[in-house]
Chain A
């Protein structure tokens, strides 16, 4: 059995949140396209829905963009009515990309060493 380590998604990918009405989108873009498959296995719509469970999304859709080594997640009903209705301090939901980037990702131990090396360079 391969040894694995747990990393936050933040170490493997970057992303940005955008809003339109009560719909939130979050892009998740692999720093290294080699991680695309790993991310596609672990950053599933079900796990993303679980991250935002307290906001009870009415739907979570994942769009795959292999050419960009990226995913686009679209969540409905999580912005408390949208920017003109929400009572949230961040009524756009702009900070929410980093909520998703906190997701735990299991990586092979060998991959962890490579990432550490890359970060040191």
Chain B
């Protein structure tokens, strides 16, 4: 009987807490059973942002927090034999691998074996042959095409681990594949043992959003209490060879693992629960059972699998123009009417925008004090200061968002928000504006074979990878 395997998730999105992986690794080391750690930091939005960054600088386009994520645990994982898998390569896995190599070398591990996965980006194929030849069933209309990424499965990850990789850097892979790869590598499950592949995919799905299964994104005072939200423990799955698993978290950490937290994550981003499509399996969740198995321990079983889909999901990124967001506040008597008037002025003044949206936001902000006493006493003494019927407590923040084709048009709209300070209704304050380039995305399905034929796993030592990176830095 193959030993149990522990798999932990050290990040659930780009921008997640970076002090959570170290306690996970300590828990894995203390447990002593074979283990792996994965980081999930790539979404539809973050991949689009990564493509923007790579288009601006050839060595950018991977997870911006990669060094902060990995530095606290990389040396310890290399020493303890805990492989790390992450989609932190985003739009530029080779550049991410060079940074990982630099981190490993500086932690005293120039011999660390780092695998880089290529082939998720199918833009070149799409450019050369056109969307139709790739077999993509939908194509964006008119907008400039920037990149296309296929959701790869767990096989190349397992292959990298079987070649001895200690860190596996991927771009776009299906999130659960980050866990499934190490599980298949450890247990030697057949890729056509659909129920086992489904069980491993379920474990990945439960863990892929990090704290969302351990009490994060769950607390609702009075109804759903979570202790220690400020020091949430991230998840660990203890997986058995038959695919059954216990979800838990590091001892002494904050948070909560209960049937309720597990159920919320189980259905997160699921459409048909009988057919969750992944590159490796079609997962059926309808017979999954979720049972308490001790304090902060929940047993999960019953995943069922059907043969994997014929086609892979592809996300196509296209130029989305510019997003401008501007805000200004009105408070006190007649605040709402003044905010509505300001919005009306903006609708007339902001020309050359494709779309404009206005929101009215607020409980208490511009009248509130730094110490928080205004908000604490909203219905107390403060209220008495306002004669009834004046709407005195209104605190309305007008927000407008515009989509424009050009940067200039977005900047012009933001200037209109700022101009309200002198030209708009009475007593507007706190005007702010922000401008961002946008990438829109479409999802489509493409045939598997031409994409998988281009998938490559490259294995190199940290010393080999860090060398060229250092040379490039000098060239720059």
- Whether B263 and A87, one on each chain, are in contact in the complex, defined by CB atoms closer than 8 angstroms, is no
- Whether A68 and B443, one on each chain, are in contact in the complex, defined by CB atoms closer than 8 angstroms, is no
- Whether A72 and B264, one on each chain, are in contact in the complex, defined by CB atoms closer than 8 angstroms, is no
14 pairs, A vs B, C-beta closer than 8 Å:
A16-B217, A16-B264, A18-B267, A18-B268, A21-B44, A21-B441, A27-B270, A29-B264, A61-B272, A63-B272, A63-B274, A68-B266, A87-B355, A89-B361
- Counting contact residues on chain A (CB < 8 A from B), the size range is 20 to 34
Q: How far is the CB of B208 from chain A (nearest CB, A)?
A: 12
Which residues on B are within 8 Å of A, measured CB to CB?
43-45, 48, 212, 217-218, 220, 222-224, 260, 263-274, 285-290, 302, 320, 323, 355-357, 359, 361, 399, 401-403, 438-443
Which residues on A are within 8 Å of B, measured CB to CB?
10-11, 14-16, 18-21, 23, 25, 27, 29, 31, 61, 63, 65, 67-68, 70, 72, 74, 81-85, 87-89, 91-92, 119
Secondary structure call for the A interface: mixed
- Whether A84 and B399, one on each chain, are in contact in the complex, defined by CB atoms closer than 8 angstroms, is no
- Whether A19 and B269, one on each chain, are in contact in the complex, defined by CB atoms closer than 8 angstroms, is yes
Residues of A within 8 A of B402 (CB): 87
Report the Cα distance A10→B221, complex, angstroms: 12
- Whether A84 and B359, one on each chain, are in contact in the complex, defined by CB atoms closer than 8 angstroms, is no
Q: How far is the CB of A87 from chain B (nearest CB, A)?
A: 4
Q: How far is the CB of A97 from chain B (nearest CB, A)?
A: 9
Q: How far is the CB of B181 from chain A (nearest CB, A)?
A: 22
Q: How far is the CB of A11 from chain B (nearest CB, A)?
A: 8
Secondary structure call for the B interface: mixed
Report the Cα distance A17→B361, complex, angstroms: 21
Report the Cα distance A19→B13, complex, angstroms: 14
- Whether B264 and A85, one on each chain, are in contact in the complex, defined by CB atoms closer than 8 angstroms, is no
Q: B48's contact among A16, A25, A31, A84, by CB below 8 Å, is which?
A: A84
Report the Cα distance A10→B272, complex, angstroms: 23
Report the Cα distance A52→B8, complex, angstroms: 37
B313's nearest neighbour on chain A, judged by CB, is A20
Residues of B within 8 A of A92 (CB): 45
Report the Cα distance A14→B440, complex, angstroms: 32
The 9 closest A-B pairs by CB, nearest first: A18-B269, A27-B267, A87-B401, A87-B357, A16-B264, A18-B268, A84-B441, A83-B45, A84-B440
B266's nearest neighbour on chain A, judged by CB, is A68
